[in-house]
Structure 1
Amino acid sequence: GIITIGFGLLTLLFLTASPDTASWLSERERQIVVLTNEADRALKAHEGFSRAQITSAFTDPRTYLWGLAYFANYIPVYSVVLSLPTVVAGLGHTGTGATVMAVWPYFVGFALVLGAGWTTDRWGARFVHYAVPIGVVMVALVVLIAETDDTVRYGMFFLVMFMFVPISTMWSWLAQNVAGSNKRAAATGLVFSMGNLGGIASGWIYSAEWAPRFVPGHAINLACYAVALVAGACLWWSYRRDNRLRDRAEGIERGVSVYQRRKGLLGEDLGDLGDK
């Protein structure tokens, strides 16, 4: 609670009322944020309820691909840490000491999410921020399956905390590639609902009879991440193909930056970027 209150107080210093007064943004970054917000407001000003957009969210195959990716990511997020207390106990820690040892990996996860948020905002490359952390977690799961030393296994949980990065990356990636506020709202709700079904499945993965190594549980999560990686790669390829077709139709040459592509686009034109 004290840590939460402390971060809340820090927001008084860093959370500004508008982009115009954000001292931690450069002048160019402030202009980008202001223009983007104006474009979004211009689009929403004449965009009311649209049954067609909502229907599109439910009929677009990519919505279900997003749901599969989220589902496959969330099963490990809910379940893999269930084996951490057993590893901590194997190191000889009990009571408060065990609790403290179980908390440290989460601090690393917290820092990783903040760092990934900064880098993905600065350089984009959503798929890279999605795929690389999944690869790191998959390596950690392989080690957890093969290794018997609890010290090594405990260390792997610091790498397992990369699992929070793809989840946070997915939401910005999804929101930026589903156009129309109605479709975006419907797709986000549907994907979130599909993904959270992983919480139901996760409760059955780490059975007590598989303790203390939980090899079958780690293997299931490894398979989940393989599915998540394939689903993410399909989404990346799909949007990349659409963008190339759109650029070709608009006569935009390869090598032109995304900022040059969007120059002069407002309202509906900007809102349709990334969607079919």
Structure 2
Amino acid sequence: MTGRLEGKVCLVTGAARGQGAAEAELFAAHGAHVYLADVLDADGDALAAGLREKGLHAEYVHLDVTDSPQWAAVSSRIDARHGRIDVLVNNAGIVGRGSILETRDEVWQQVFNVNVTGAFHGIRAIAPIMQRSRSGSIVNVCSIAALSGYPAASYSASKWALRGLSQGAAIEFASWGIRVNAIHPGLVETPMVTMAEHNRLVTGLTPLGRPASAEEIATLVLFLASDEASYVTGADIPIDGGFSAGAALRSIALSTGVYEAPRVDSAR
């Protein structure tokens, strides 16, 4: 049986570690030729080499997503070799945790440069290449912080902006056969998420009662990248164990006795 991305050329940013690495590995396992883009050269090189040792098609490319000329160089290199790019995953992102009053100008700008401008540069560089094939899939990795108010000012605002960019791009490029979708992960077990007490509390508010694995997020990205999602564009898809469905209200209702959790009847 052929893979779900057999023969497709894919570029994943932030792919040296964590969630991006899981996406790149899954893409390669499903037959894609994957370019892993990051600034963590040693990690990215090692991961790509490991995938090649398994007989998969993977290469590492250095890419600072905030640098438009680097995007132009990387996209031109891939295009020159393959004549196309089928999938772009804008996964690269950083966290800013300060409140509005605590966030310094340089932190705000850095978070926006990576989380929003980086994706903008990528879409602008690669959409014209996809247009020649009259097809393509762009997946932007947002966050549940873009689905409601969130106290980390720069991070939340950047993910809301990326969400808006995703929907605008979906409309702009639909006539070119390019699909653009945004996913909104909740708590994910990756090196980027390191706050133990925060994680415990969020897990307690998550209806499924646990964080996601990076591989679970990658499975959704794989679907959106594949032809199985050929009629899906402009979508916002939470993947958060039910957190955005109103988990906080459920917790309040349980703690105040307004609602009782369903019990399993062992007699049945």
Structure 2 length normalisation: TM-score? Answer: 0.30
Q: RCO (CA 8 Å, sep 6+): is it higher in 1 or 2? A: 1
- Would you tell me which structure has more helix in proportion to its own residues? 1
Larger Rg: 1
